[in-house]
């Protein structure tokens, strides 16, 4: 049973071109956070490598092989087991066969790899040259509750968050490195917006009748294609973790790792320097907030109808 209250640490790490330094630096930050009482540690997007298409193939690791083939995840596994904490391990470039992914690994308190999320959307101009998009949503049960994972640009797609909320996640974790143009405008806005969406058009019924949830990857084939509108209330926690800003690097990150609470409030945040943000999560507030603003029960189905605009468009242009 996950504890209702615990501390989360967002390690906004500086990242260099020295991979071994990045790994030992991340280890130190995690150990320090655990010493301060964090039971869950979140790392940034691409923390073991510079953020560049040239670097991804050079720094990529074979996570499935593990051991020497993946020193970054070997460190995360060791440290999560030693410290008995859960780690949402930001992301690293992953090599699998001839493909590269931007991948987040989640380690449990026993040091075991509990889940792996491959960034499902890619930034058209930045990553699409080298990285392949992941195919699945990733939800993971940990000692600190059920967590939905997205990586950076994934935060722009409300359906992913809707799937996680419908499956009972009370916390969404997004390692991310927004850029200096969209960061100031969109980063916090998107985190807070994820809390207030209330509808999602979904495509088939999943295994959990309670949630009637639908992703194409895990739902029974016979129900694929069935349309339904799912009304959900998110009102949950959203945590993000970015690398610290390095104005000398080819990709300058916005920083601003943040924890947003289930009322849409910024509970803890920072600027762009290297630091670790530590804050408390209390899952009992999720139900309280949903009861206080029960927007799901207040829908006005008599005023509007949700339609699948993409499908209508496809049909009309056939």
User: Where does this chain bind ligand LYUYDEPV (CB under 6 A)?
Assistant: 45, 123, 152-153, 156, 177-179, 182, 186
Question: Nearest approach, Cβ of 186 to ligand LYUYDEPV (angstroms)?
Answer: 6
Question: Nearest approach, Cβ of 251 to ligand LYUYDEPV (angstroms)?
Answer: 8
Distance CA 159, CA 172 (A): 13
Question: Nearest approach, Cβ of 123 to ligand LYUYDEPV (angstroms)?
Answer: 5
Q: Active-site residues: which are they?
A: 45, 119, 152
C-alpha angle 60-65-67 in degrees, rounded to nearest 5:
85
Nearest residue to 90 via CA among 100, 71, 80, 76: 76
CA trace torsion 270, 172, 251, 129 (10° rounding):
180
Burial class, 222, CB count within 10 angstroms (exposed 0-12 / middle 13-18 / buried 19+): exposed
Nearest residue to 101 via CA among 73, 63, 138: 63
Q: Which residues, including other chains, have CB under 8 Å from residue 28's CB and lie 6 or more apart?
A: none
Name the residue nearer to ligand LYUYDEPV (CB basis): 109 or 182.
182
204 backbone dihedrals φ, ψ, rounded to 5°: -160, 165
Question: Nearest approach, Cβ of 300 to ligand LYUYDEPV (angstroms)?
Answer: 32
Task: Name the one residue in this structure whose structure tokens are 């083939």.
Answer: 69
Distance CA 62, CA 68 (A): 9
Name the residue nearer to ligand LYUYDEPV (CB basis): 157 or 263.
157
Name the residue nearer to ligand LYUYDEPV (CB basis): 9 or 152.
152
Question: Nearest approach, Cβ of 179 to ligand LYUYDEPV (angstroms)?
Answer: 4
Name the residue nearer to ligand LYUYDEPV (CB basis): 41 or 46.
46
Name the residue nearer to ligand LYUYDEPV (CB basis): 6 or 51.
51
Instruction: Report DSSP letters for 187-243, one per residue.
Output: IHHHHHHTTT--EEEE-S--S-TTTT---TTTS-GGGTT--EEEE-----EEEEE-P
């Amino acid at each position: 049973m996950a504890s209702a209250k615990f501390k989360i640490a967002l390690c906004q790490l500086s990242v260099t071109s020295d991979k071994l330094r990045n790994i030992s630096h991340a280890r130190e930050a995690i150990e320090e956070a655990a010493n301060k009482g964090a039971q869950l540690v979140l790392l940034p997007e691409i923390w073991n490598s510079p953020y560049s298409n040239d670097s991804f193939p050079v720094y990529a690791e074979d996570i499935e092989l593990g051991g020497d083939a993946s020193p970054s995840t070997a460190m995360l596994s060791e440290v999560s087991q030693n410290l008995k904490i859960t780690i949402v391990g930001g992301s690293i470039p992953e090599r699998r066969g001839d493909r590269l992914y931007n991948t987040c690994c989640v380690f449990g308190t026993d040091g075991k790899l509990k889940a792996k999320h491959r960034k499902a959307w890619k930034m058209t101009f930045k990553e699409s040259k080298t990285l392949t998009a992941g195919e699945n949503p990733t939800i993971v049960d940990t000692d600190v509750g059920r967590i939905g994972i997205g990586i950076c640009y994934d935060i722009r797609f409300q359906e992913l968050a809707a799937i996680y909320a419908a499956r009972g996640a009370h916390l969404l974790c997004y390692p991310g490195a927004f850029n200096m143009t969209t960061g100031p405008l969109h980063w916090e806005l998107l985190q807070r917006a994820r809390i207030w969406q209330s509808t999602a058009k979904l495509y088939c019924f999943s295994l959990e009748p309670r949630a009637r949830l639908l992703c194409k990857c895990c739902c029974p084939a016979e129900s694929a294609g069935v349309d339904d509108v799912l009304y959900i209330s998110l009102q949950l926690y959203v945590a993000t973790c970015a690398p610290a800003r390095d104005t000398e690097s080819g990709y300058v990150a916005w920083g601003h790792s943040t924890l947003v609470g289930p009322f849409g409030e910024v509970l803890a945040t920072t600027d762009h320097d290297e630091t670790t943000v530590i804050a408390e999560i209390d899952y009992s507030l999720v139900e309280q907030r949903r009861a206080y603003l029960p927007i799901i029960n207040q829908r006005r189905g008599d005023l509007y109808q949700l339609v699948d605009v993409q499908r209508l468009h496809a049909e009309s242009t056939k």
